[in-house]
Amino acid sequence: MTVYNLSAAGLVKASQDAINNGTLKIAKFAFDTAGVDSSGASNKTVAAHGTGVILPAGAIVVGGFFSVITKFTSAETNTGTIAISVEGANDIQTAAPVSGAPYSSTGGKAIVPKINSPESTSITLTVDREITCTVATAALTAGKLTGVLIYIAPDA
């Protein structure tokens, strides 16, 4: 077992080692209303849309973010909502209307879990799970986001 100094340099070294030995992983995902989900359905429709990115059972999601590339809009005066999930409903991003934050402006967006507090916000997957964006209330008309989830891979 390697012991690391409790310092910025020690944290960087621990992170590098985790990446190099394959323990720390990054899952990249995208959700685009111009495309289709992992089952072939239009991402504009009211439904749960798989992104095609699956994390393994036992993975512990410790952080990440998403970035709105194109602002989201929906039918019915922007009343549509989007939630992002991996283990359970709303666990990455709680359902929010596209008329407000975080979907109505471009740029980086914070998620749960928070990488600086994984002891209280991390998410442990019970089975293999697909990162899912769920559209509710009204169909979407435009929008695109990309994101990453940082996770600790389960023991082999």
Q: What is the CATH number of the domain that holds 108?
A: 2.60.120
- 76, with CB counted inside 10 A (0-12, 13-18, 19+), is exposed
Residue 152 has pLDDT above 80, yes or no: yes
Which helix or strand (DSSP H or E) is residue 73 part of? strand 60-74
What is the pLDDT, as a whole number, of residue 92? 98
In the three-class reduction of DSSP (H, G, I as helix; E, B as strand; rest coil), residue 5 is classed as coil
Q: Please report whether residue 7 resides in a domain.
A: no
pLDDT, mean of residues 37-65: 97
- 136 in a domain, yes or no? yes
The range of the structural domain enclosing residue 45 comes to 23-152
What is the domain count for the chain?
Answer: 1
**Between 133 and 117, where is the model more confident?**
133
Q: Within a domain: residue 124?
A: yes
User: Is the model's pLDDT at 8 over the cut of 60?
Assistant: no
Q: What does DSSP assign to residue 18?
A: H
Whether the predicted pLDDT of 55 surpasses 80: yes
Does position 28 have pLDDT exceeding 70, yes or no? yes
The reply to whether omega before 97 is within 30° of 0 (cis) is no
What is the pTM assigned to this prediction? 0.87
CA proximity to 100, closest of 138, 72, 66, 136: 72
Which pLDDT score, from 0 to 100, does residue 85 have? 98
**5 domain residue, yes or no:** no
CA distances from 147 to 63, 80, 88, 89, 144 (A): 11, 20, 18, 17, 10
Strand partners, 61: 123, 151
